[in-house]
Structure 1
Amino acid sequence: MRKLIYIIAILTIVSCSGKEELPKGIIPPEKMALILSDIYLAEHKAANISLKPDSSKVVFRHYELKILEDYNTNDSVYKESFRYYLEFPEKLEAVYDIVIDTVSLREQVENAKKKQK
């Protein structure tokens, strides 16, 4: 099911955007959207753990680094890519449209799984 979410997200970004060249070292929009989706979900998980705020931040940072590793990138490339998208609001908006769709779809899948149990 996770692959379906990725495929939908990638198809959405490809169909909505032209084939503009990105500067070297910038994460492509579809991959950036998937990373951000995972990071926001990890942030939600960390915030809902019954820990002190400082401890929750440590847990979130662990999640964040694991996500970046899973996407074969690192913190500096992620931050530089985020700065790049901040300079181009229309590109950032397209990325966040995919993030919203991806997170919503994941939530629907989780809710469907819970109802089946």
Structure 2
Amino acid sequence: MKKYFLLSVLFCSLLGCSEEKVKVDKPKGLLSENEMIQLMMDFYILEAKVKEVRVGRDSAKVLYRELEPLVYQQHDIDSVDYRQSLEYYLHFPETMETFYSAIVDSLSLKERVANDKEKASKKKDKLKEAKENEPQD
């Protein structure tokens, strides 16, 4: 989670360096802020899953490219709309900072829930094992 936070801080810092305010037209098919957050979060999750496979960098890139369309399909969104929306939102550092904060918060919550479920499962398994190992009367 630290890397997500550092990535978002670095990204927003770089965007914040731009002093020039340019009038940007909204593209056709502009995705809502919530849609962008969901998509970006799913892409981070996909990237993490691909890294877990532990294949070479070239193979990981190929795997990512193979799986990327599934994210678009899951959200019923066209890749062109996503890219144009991302290019549009990149002109608004405050909005992008909001996106990354929401993504980090959501991923942290998912990680915490997964850890809690794992702990509960282990505890349940230990209780079951203890019952099975109880002396029979």
Range into which the TM-score falls when normalised by the shorter chain: 0.7 to 0.9
Aligned to 1:104: 108
Q: CA deviation at 1:23?
A: 4.8
Structure 1, gaps ≥5 residues long? 1-21
Say whether 1:116 aligns with 2:116.
Answer: no
Q: For residues 26-66 of structure 1, what are the alpha-carbon distances to aligned partners after superposition, in whole Å with 9 as ceiling and x for unaligned?
A: 11011110111111011011012121111111111223211
Aligned residue in 2 for 1:11: none
Matches for 1:24-39 after TM superposition, within 5 Å: 24-39=28-43
When Rg is computed on C-alpha atoms for both structures, the one with the higher figure is 2
Query: Which structure 2 residues correspond to residues 21-100 of structure 1 after superposition, within 5 A?
Result: 23-100=27-104
Normalised TM-score (structure 2): 0.65
Do 2:72 and 2:79's aligned partners in 1 also have CA atoms closer than 8 Å? yes
Superposed CA RMSD = 1.4
Letter in 1 for 2:106: T
CA distance in 1, matches of 2:79, 2:93: 22
User: Which amino acid is the alignment partner of residue 91 of structure 2?
Assistant: E
Aligned-residue sequence identity (percent) comes to 33
Structure 2: any 5+ residue segments left out of the alignment?
1-25, 122-137
Q: Return structure 1 stretches of 4+ with deviation > 6 angstroms.
A: none
Match of 1:18 in 2: none
* Aligned length in residues: 96
Could you state the TM-score of these two structures normalised by the residue count of structure 1? 0.75
Rounded to whole Å, the distance in 2 between the matches of 1:26 and 1:105 is 28
